Structure 1
């Protein structure tokens, strides 16, 4: 069981305890007298006290070694209670036991019940030893249960100190978390009808308002007229009044008329009866991110348009080249026909047409080379046109 070593609150002062529980100053001597009678049974008292905390079947999962250690320490503590006198050291031990008992309500009950059983067992031994001396038994019984009342009071105070310190620590942690959020985010607190109660500096700075300008006015002042009149805005407040939180991105308008984008969560706050009593909005400014997205989108669109323009220009160029290739092909075919006709005429002319036949043959070879080049160019153009379509 973990207990707090230091406290922000004060433990009981031994002087106050003396005044309350031992005004006659006889308690310490009576307790020492009681110890001589009950000490032989203290070991069993203490073991019986710690028995409910031992083993894996309990919520505490204390092993036997741990229980044995607690028993030894508890025996020393019990002896100190009866023989060491009422001191601030003893009060400190009682307070620490009270802190340890405050882990949960079941532990508090187990501590209280175990302590009462221990005192009853000691009273039984005291009664058995003093059956023939009722006056002494009455006096010592009073002192025994005075110690019980004192110890119970200090234990309860220790438990209260532990809870108070824990609540203080939880409160400090909660406050620290809220301060961290306040530094990094925008927030706005409103009534359930949308009236602004307060806002942090981040939101006011982002929207361009002062607290005086927004306090007491409706949240719709932060919206454009079209957003304010939209069904989406009406649904937002209907959901919030019904106790449903809403989270999404919203567009809001600043005092200067500029638009900002907020990733916001609107949270209904409930009272102890489950009724919505206020609305708190937490938001992060994502305007820069949205503007960057719009800029990138515009760039992408411009790039696409430029690429389409280049594609069309390239396609037009290829189309014109294809026409030229077709014209060259037609000329080649005509040249081939002329070479063929020239060859025929040279053959008819016999010896006189030999020189003419040489020219006709050269024309024919040139026509063949032009035809091959034209076919190659046509294939290249076809591939280029197909790649553009892809």
Structure 2
């Protein structure tokens, strides 16, 4: 019963696995149909030959290959994936277990290998690995051929999808990096222009502040001068008002003089009348003296003298009357002139008052302008300080924008290394075509 079970077990292995048996030195004893079909040989072509006929000739020369058979002869076993060469020279990969078969005394009688062809899995796995390598190198346009093996098909599809999404994302990053680079250069240019304009503005504002300070001093001096003019005009107004009083007194005095002249005229008229009467009396006295003859001769002389005196008094009174008349005329003219002077002086006083009001307004305006200019001067000084600070900040911003432009350009260069052209489905090279003997290193592949 136990023998039948063992025979059934061996039949299952023979149907499902590639089986080959070797002597402990590697000489081939026999192989089943699965093995012969996988390697492309007939049984009589391999029996009696060495295992090395299935191995890369270069690897056969290595110490690792010699140690491999030495260890098998010592009773060790190995399970790994191994590359093998078919009769036609093609490379296949097998998942194999080399196991020594022990004799009754415990020594190794022969070596049996159970293997499965994993060439397609290996190639599909290398396709995926090479796809990942292409991704790592920046080739996002590379797609792998999806494997017919279910688990590798999931990996291949996921890798292609990742490539596609990463390619789209990288296209976006490229566009953004180009836009960022362009914007950064524009910002750099704008901040450079702004820096130059800010420096010019700062210099101009500094000059403006100095000029405004001088203007403030000038307006302050003008305000003080306007105040002095206001005081002078006030004094002139007071003096004009005093002069007006003097003119009024002069008018009164002129009126009094005219009154006195009128009185003198009346007195002169009385004197003139007296002279006329005296002249008449003298004339009558002369007539009576003539009638008296010699007796009246002396009286006639006196009468003649009195008549002459009366005549001269009349003439003098006439001259005085004429002078008084002329004086009265002059006094009247003087009164008129003084009156006109009073009117003009009142007009002057009124005009001086208006001037005083305007000067007062100018003085107040100048004072207010002085205060306003001082406030403006303070504001401009503060603005000058802020502008100087802004100029320093603009210089820092210019430096930062230059760094940003450089970083953006560097980003664009780095991103440009990625190939994102869609539609390139490239078949990865096989392990055999990749060349080299490292795949036969026991550390990586066993043997």
Choose between structure 1 and 2 for higher RCO, CA contacts under 8 A separated by at least 6 residues. 2
Question: Larger % of helix: which?
Answer: 2
* Shorter-chain TM band: 0.3 to 0.5
**Rg larger in structure:** 2
